[in-house]
Each structure stands twice: as structure tokens, then as C-alpha cells.
Amino acid sequence: MNRFLLRHPLVRTLTELRGNTRACVYTEPMWGLSMNLCLPYASVFMLSFGMSDVQVGIIASIYMFSQTVFAFLSGAIVDRYGRRFSTAFFDFLAWSVPCLIWASSQGFWFFAVAALFNGMMKITTVAWDCLLVEDAPRDKITHIYSWVIIAANMSALFAPISSILVSRLTLIPAIRILYINAFVIMTLKILLLYKFSTETGIGRVRKEAVKGMTWPQMLGDYRGAAKRILTSPGTKFAIVISVLVEIAAMIGMTFWQIIASRRIGIPDTLLSIFPMAKSVLAIVLFFTVLSRVKQSNLKVPLYGGFLCAIISALLLIVVPGTGLLGYLLLSLSLAFEALGFAALGTMRESLVAIYVNPEDRSRIMALLQTTVMLVSVPFGYIGGLLSDINRTLPFVLNIGMLSLGILATAFFFGGKKAVQP
């Protein structure tokens, strides 16, 4: 058994991790242990304060707008202060501080302020991704990102803790406690990652390169990165896929809880059980199906991911209620969602890492993240409006976004030049 496990490509990659990549992957479960206990209840928590579906959508759009601003600034900030420091400092502002605000929330404006802080996570998205892969073996990128997603899913196994607290304390007091727990664990994760990581080689070069430059000069340096994006079919394709997956994931995360709780009738105490089951299934799929994906051929997993996510949305739309048939259809929907978004999440990150020039990574990722956010911002509000009309409509929108992903994949892989990094 041990020999079999050690021969498995994912396990072998995990045991061979070194330096910053190991520090990032090994501490990543702590993010899930802090945030994954709260996230299944985030939207319902807001509704508990008397907020409407439209207001929940507005919070999602504020969050996306904040991400857009900080995504644009992220490349210059990460080059100026380095990958390691930027990850630690802005992780605290983007996660630890909002956890305290959420824990003490009284209504719409608390969530709005928390969303503005939470948007700083786009700086850490760029900084942490650079810290993760800049010193990593290029041929292990897909497996490294698989472990990042597995780590997040493993932490969802503790979701029953949320259910127990909600059943015993009711929703609002229980979620306040979980956000305080998230503050403690997230802050500890930040400290551990900072201690066991070092600045990357490219990070040191970029810090030296921008020394003495003004902020306008650093932001002006984006022009060269933008030209390289426009001349790279692979990078443009990575941006399109990132936009579509980001919108679909945001709508799914925001409105799944609402449709499950308010339309289908799932009790609040059971809301966290379904994401836990989805995470268990996703872990199994990583070790059986997704570990066989070859980095040289990403077309099939992209097609499969989009198709599974579409089937998941269709099943969710037709769930009639909480009877036997309802729970069966909801379980099937979650199974297809687990496979679809596990594949799409890994492919999205892998495409960016594969097609972006390492020396331009921070600036190109900043522009990529900015583009993704600019396009995605209106969809939180649009999703809220649609949900206010009929709680299945956000998922009809998702089907449209995912179908565009299939078309984009067909167009990109239709040309021979496109498959070359």
C-alpha cells in the first residue's frame, strides 16, 4: 500500500516539494480550516440580518470592485515589497481584519466595509502565486495546483463542526464564533508561512529593478506586459478561461446557499454537509481522474470540466424540494460540480502558470486579475437581481457562461500554434 501511494504522481510530487512551494502547500489547509467553516453560511448569514437577495448581490459586486482596484495595483506592490512580505501583510488585511468585522456585523454596511478589505486578497493572490511557483519545477505545475485545491477541500471535512454549532446556538451566534476562529487560525497561518518561506529569486531581481522608481513609473511598466499579453494566444486564452470560471464560481458560491436554503428548503443545520460531501468527492477525483491529466494536453479536462459544471447547474435548477428525489438530484448536482470545478480550477491556474513568462509574472498576473475583476464586477448585482425574480435564474446565467467556455476552448485548440506555451 505504501509503495503504491509513493508511486502515485500526486503523492510523489508532495514528497518532493521544497522551499517556498512546500511552505505554501503545507500551510494551505489552514486557510480552509479558518474560512471553509464559515463560507457555506456566508450568504444565509447576511440574509439573517434582514438583507435582500439584491443587497447580497451588491455586497458581491462591492467585493469584486475592491478586487479590481487591488488587482491592478498588485503587480507594482508585489515587485516593490517582495512576494514574501506582500503575502503576509496583505493576507492579514484581506482575511484577518474582515473576520473580525464579520464576527461583529450588524447589517449591510458592516458587510460592505468587510468586502472592501477582503478585496485586498487580489494582492496576495499575485504574491502567493509567485511565491508558490517561481522556484518550483515547471513540469510539476499542474500537480502543485492540484495539491493546493486538495488542501482546501480536505479542510471541508471539518464542516460538521459548523452544523453542530448552528444547531445548538442558532445561526448568528454560531457564525460569529466561527469567524473569530477563522481570525485566529488565519493569523497563525500567515505567521507560519512567513517564517518558513524566503523571497524568490525572481522576487529579489524585481525588487532591485524597481528600486528608486516612482509608483507612476512602476504602473507605466505595465504597458510592456500588456503588449506581451496581446501577442500571446495562450495568455489571452488563460484570461478568457479565468473570467468565465471566476464568474461561474462567484455566482455558484453566492447563490447556492440561497437556492438550497430558501427555495429547495434544506435546513440551515445541514447546509455545511453538502459542501463537505462535495469536497470528499473532489479529493477522490483528484487522486483517480485528475491526477492522470497531462500538462501537455489540457483540452480534454477543460471540455470535461465545463460540461460537468453545466450538468450540475441543470440538475440544481430542476430539484423539486427536499423529498427523496430532491436530495438525490441535489447530490448528483454536487457530484458533477465537484468534478467540474476541480478540473476547471486546476486548469485555470495551470494555464496562467504555463503561458506567463516568469520574469513578467507579477505584472501580467496583475493585469490578468484586473481584467477578470473588471468583467466580473457587474455579475454579483446581476445575479442578485435574477435571484430576486427567480432563485434558479443565476444558475441559468451560469450555464451561459460555462457554454462560452466550451466555445473558447474549441476556438483556442483549433489552431496548432495555440497549444505551444
Q: Which residue has the cell 430539484?
A: 319
CATH number at residue 290: 1.20.1250.20
Q: Is the pLDDT of residue 419 over 70?
A: no
List phi, psi (to 5°) of 289.
-95, -55
The answer to whether position 4 is within a domain reads no
Q: For residue range 278-323, list pLDDT tens digits in order.
A: 778 887 877 777 767 666 677 888 999 999 999 999 988 888 766 7
The answer to whether position 10 is within a domain reads no
Q: For residue range 164-220, list pLDDT tens digits in order.
A: 888 888 889 999 999 999 999 999 999 999 999 999 999 999 899 888 888 888 888
Give the rounded percent of residues in the chain with a pLDDT score beyond 90: 31
The closest of 197, 69, 82 to 121, measured between CA atoms, is 69
Q: How confident is the model at residue 5 (pLDDT cuts 50, 70, 90)?
A: low
Q: Provide the number of structural domains found in the chain.
A: 1
What is the domain range of residue 316?
15-419
Q: pTM here?
A: 0.75
Q: Which value, in Å, is the radius of gyration of the alpha carbons in the chain?
A: 21
The answer to whether position 6 is within a domain reads no
Q: Which residue has the cell 477563522?
A: 182
Q: CA 275 to CA 159: how far, in whole Å?
A: 8
